[in-house]
Homo-oligomer: A and B are copies of this chain.
Amino acid sequence: MSTSPSNQPERRARLGDLSEEEVLRIILPLMAVPDERVLVGPGDDAAVMSAGDGRFVTSTDASMRNIDWRDDWSSGDEVGRKIVAQNLADVAAMGAVPAGLLVTLLAGADTEIAWVEDLARGIGESCLEAGCPVLGGDLGGAPAGVVVLSVTSFGDLQGRAPVLRSGAQRGDVVAVAGSLGRSGAGLALLHNAPSDLSAKKAAQELIDLHRVPRPPLAAGPRAAEAGAHALIDISDGLIRDAGRVASASGVRVSLFSEQLAADVDAISAVWGRTKALEMVLTGGEEHALLAFFPPNISLPDGFRRIGEVTVGTGVTVDGERRQGGGWDHFGG
């Protein structure tokens, strides 16, 4: 007979069992990405970064358990990879390359250390893939059950002008890099999969992309080099984010469903064509890049045409005015 209590579940270590410094000693090595641009890294009052061309791009994006993710749908690793993708997509949407990240974690003392390690590993591996050092962050408490992640990202324009939302012009070609609607289609599957689901492999791909979006980060700087007039990442849905460019630029964005056929096809095996088109138009959290190019250039690698810029306001699909859809944080 064994003396070990193997029939009892082992109590897994929680944040409240360790000091802040012990937690940092576990997670910082998991997020170490050596980079000579980092002049002072984690561990002091602040980090110091060299700014390649005398400027830096910065953005920030936060997530909260049970609002932005569910632990029964996403692992810590996936939550970490997703928040890095979201943040670096904002940097790419200015035409910049990733230059660094700050990571803040506020979590209840009941949070499992193993989950925090998994999170840090996902952040670290995504940053390594993107060539993006983790410069530091903040670690703090929260009420039991609450977990908050807040990330700030940095980018380097490498001498290029930033590509804003406000530069789209009449006649511009509207083009997208990266997939559309799949993250939203995957989320819909997690909420409520069709009972007669036959396309299991396609469905799993949609769910995977919802858990870990794959923004085409290199396409941002490529669009800037090619002379894009405007650039945005699609975080809240194609119509909503195209509408932001329309509004900032004082133009109309005219989309054509025929040019979205490949995006619709990838989803229609699971959800049917009508729902699939709606998901392509309004699904968020995919972080494709939407660019507006002058009509006389050939589109850079990875971009495909989905519409054009015309006189007017707002967004149309096949000539019909479309509004809203997509995601609003307060649902107003």
What chain B residues lie within 8 Å of A106 (beta carbons)?
A: 62, 64, 67, 148, 150
Task: Verify if A49 is at the interface (C-beta below 8 Å from B).
Answer: yes
A62, B140: Cβ atoms closer than 8 Å:
yes
Instruction: Scan residues 160-206 of chain A and give those whose CB is less than 8 A from a CB of chain B.
Output: 162, 164-166
What chain B residues lie within 8 Å of A47 (beta carbons)?
A: 57-59
**Closest approach, in angstroms, between the C-beta of A223 and any C-beta of chain B?**
12
B64, A136: Cβ atoms closer than 8 Å:
no
User: Given contacts A19-B332, A109-B331, A330-B20, are A57 and B62 in contact (CB under 8 A)?
Assistant: no
**Closest approach, in angstroms, between the C-beta of A156 and any C-beta of chain B?**
11
A59, B136: Cβ atoms closer than 8 Å:
yes
Task: Verify if A321 is at the interface (C-beta below 8 Å from B).
Answer: no
Copies in the complex: 2
A93, B39: Cβ atoms closer than 8 Å:
no
- Give me 30 A-to-B residue pairs in the complex whose CB atoms sit less than 8 angstroms apart, sorted by A's number: A16-B331, A18-B332, A19-B330, A22-B332, A23-B330, A39-B55, A40-B162, A43-B165, A44-B164, A46-B58, A46-B59, A46-B90, A46-B155, A48-B57, A48-B94, A48-B162, A49-B55, A49-B56, A50-B55, A58-B136, A59-B136, A60-B102, A60-B136, A63-B140, A64-B140, A67-B141, A67-B142, A68-B140, A139-B329, A141-B329
User: Given contacts A45-B232, A47-B59, are A332 and B141 in contact (CB under 8 A)?
Assistant: no
A138, B62: Cβ atoms closer than 8 Å:
yes
Task: Verify if A276 is at the interface (C-beta below 8 Å from B).
Answer: no
Task: Verify if A35 is at the interface (C-beta below 8 Å from B).
Answer: no
Say which size band chain A's interface belongs to: 35 or more
What chain B residues lie within 8 Å of A148 (beta carbons)?
A: 62, 64, 106, 148, 150
A157, B109: Cβ atoms closer than 8 Å:
no
Instruction: Scan residues 52-81 of chain A and give those whose CB is less than 8 A from a CB of chain B.
Output: 54-64, 66-68
**Alpha-carbon distance between A56 and B53 when the two chains are bound, in angstroms:** 12
Using an 8 Å CB-CB cutoff, how does the interface string of A133-162 with B read, 1 for contact, 0 for none? 001111111110010101011110100001
B330, A45: Cβ atoms closer than 8 Å:
no
